[in-house]
C-alpha cells in the first residue's frame, strides 16, 4: 500500500538506483540514441540513467495498473503529437523500449506473465517496491 503514499518521483529514482545492481537489467546497445516516441525530436538527455528510470517507472505502473501489456503502457508513455497549426492529437510512446524493459524485468524475476491478460509484479518485485517505499517514508 505504501507505493501509493510515496511521491512517485522519489520512489522511481530510488528503485532505479537499486535496479543498477541487477545483472539482467542493462541498457541495450545503441539505446542512448533511441527516441521514446515517434513524435519526439530528440532522445532523452539523461541517457546514462534513462534505461533504469524507465524500468523503475514500468515496474511501478505494472504494480499500480496490472495486469497490463505493452499496448496500454504505450498509451501511458504517450504524449501530445503536435501537427503545426492544426489540432494536437495524442500519440503513443515507443513500443520497443517498453517491450525490452518488460523482458529484462521478467528475467530479473520482478515481473511475470499472466495468461492472456498481460504482466503482473512477482512477489519479489512487490517486496522491492514496498521495502523501498517504506524506507522512503521512514526518512
Residue range 94-125, pLDDT digits in tens: 888 899 999 999 999 999 988 888 899 999 99
Structural domains of the chain ordered from first start: 2-138 (1.10.10.10)
Question: 28 with 94: CB under 8 angstroms?
Answer: no
Per-residue pLDDT, 57: 92
Going by pLDDT thresholds of 50, 70 and 90, the confidence category of residue 42 is confident
Contact 82, 39 (CB under 8 A): yes
Question: Among 65, 77, 68, 57, which residue's Cα sits nearest to residue 112?
Answer: 68
Cα 32 from Cα 49, distance rounded (Å): 10
- With a cut of 80, say whether residue 47 has pLDDT above it: no
Q: Compute the distance between CA of residue 93 and CA of residue 32 in angstroms, rounded to an integer.
A: 16
* Residue 1 in this model has a pLDDT that exceeds 70: no
Phi, psi of 69 (to 5 degrees): -115, -175
- Residue 86 has φ and ψ, to the nearest 5°, of -75, -170
* Whether residue 66 has pLDDT greater than 80: no
pLDDT band, very low/low/confident/very high, at 14 (cuts 50, 70, 90):
very high
In residues, how long is the chain? 139
Amino acid at each position: 500500500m505504501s507505493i501509493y503514499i510515496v511521491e512517485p518521483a522519489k520512489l522511481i529514482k530510488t528503485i532505479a538506483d537499486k535496479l543498477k545492481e541487477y545483472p539482467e537489467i542493462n541498457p541495450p546497445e545503441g539505446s542512448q540514441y533511441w527516441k521514446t516516441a515517434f513524435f519526439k525530436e530528440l532522445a532523452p538527455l539523461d541517457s546514462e540513467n534513462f534505461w533504469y528510470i524507465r524500468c523503475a517507472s514500468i515496474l511501478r505502473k505494472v504494480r499500480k495498473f496490472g495486469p497490463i501489456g505493452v499496448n496500454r503502457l504505450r498509451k501511458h508513455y504517450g504524449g501530445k503529437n503536435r501537427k503545426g497549426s492544426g489540432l494536437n492529437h495524442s500519440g503513443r510512446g515507443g513500443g520497443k523500449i517498453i517491450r525490452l524493459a518488460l523482458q529484462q524485468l521478467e528475467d530479473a524475476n520482478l515481473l511475470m506473465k499472466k495468461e492472456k491478460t498481460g504482466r503482473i509484479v512477482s512477489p519479489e518485485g512487490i517486496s522491492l517496491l514496498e521495502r523501498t517505499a517504506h524506507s522512503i517514508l521512514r526518512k
